[in-house]
Structure 1
């Protein structure tokens, strides 16, 4: 896309701005973003609350989706349909999410061209400051044709 996806998401998704999500890299195949460690976002074990981890990961998945399919917004709306999250380790400190599009964008657009409502997965790994994967998320997205 020809615009700053991270800035667009911070403008249009107030909760991402509230969490202070920083979009470090966004393109049509990968998005990397992070959330700073803030005491008010911690849980009972002094790490980022599960809601923070989920929102960070889902935001990264949305960024890569928007980068890959933003040119389709005039005819379809990207929406998450399902997600699966796995908490592998207790997170501490700043966390970074890396989302990878698992579909071929041309195939997804071809399905949309064919009158279908395509679905595709985005895999996300959330890492702590040491680079250890603490959370994994898979988000299934769809491009819902605009009516």
Structure 2
């Protein structure tokens, strides 16, 4: 477990109530990747008994937000991270608890350099959603930006 994990998980739970509502668990969070888990709860099931597509979208978006916060935590006084757009593909039936692993698609240093030049950088984050058996059930591509304050 990363030393950043409790801090990022607490921050996400405090600022993103939907993550807390779904009971998303923060398993690992670093500046390069984040792993979060959606427990299996019947209240969040779809018509075939697995996690609802909306819950899986929220899980993946939460994982992407966790890696963004971890990567740019020291810049939060300078800029606000915002999701710009996202695309998700549902590949296989998800049953039971699922995890989402998010990875930054660009080096954080490159993003910070753009921000320091007064630009509004955009950067991709990729997310894989997996069942407990390791099968990938969904994939998300999400573009984030750091919107400069002021």
TM-score, normalization: structure 1?
0.97
Alpha-carbon offset, residue 70 of structure 1: 1.1
- The answer to whether structure 1 residue 20 and structure 2 residue 23 are counterparts is yes
CA offset digits 1:72-103 (Å, max 9, x no partner): 11110000000010000111000000000111
Dislocated runs of 4+, deviation >6 Å: none
- Specify every segment of 5 or more residues in structure 2 that has no aligned partner in the other structure, as ranges: none
- The answer to whether structure 1 residue 87 and structure 2 residue 83 are counterparts is no
For residues 23-62 of structure 1, the aligned pairs below 5 Å read 23-62=26-65
1:139 aligned partner: 142
Cα distance in 2 between the residues matched to 1:135 and 1:40: 20
Cα distance in 2 between the residues matched to 1:119 and 1:13: 21
1:122 aligned partner: 125
Cα distance in 1 between the residues matched to 2:40 and 2:124: 28
Residue correspondences, number: 147
Cα distance in 2 between the residues matched to 1:122 and 1:47: 25
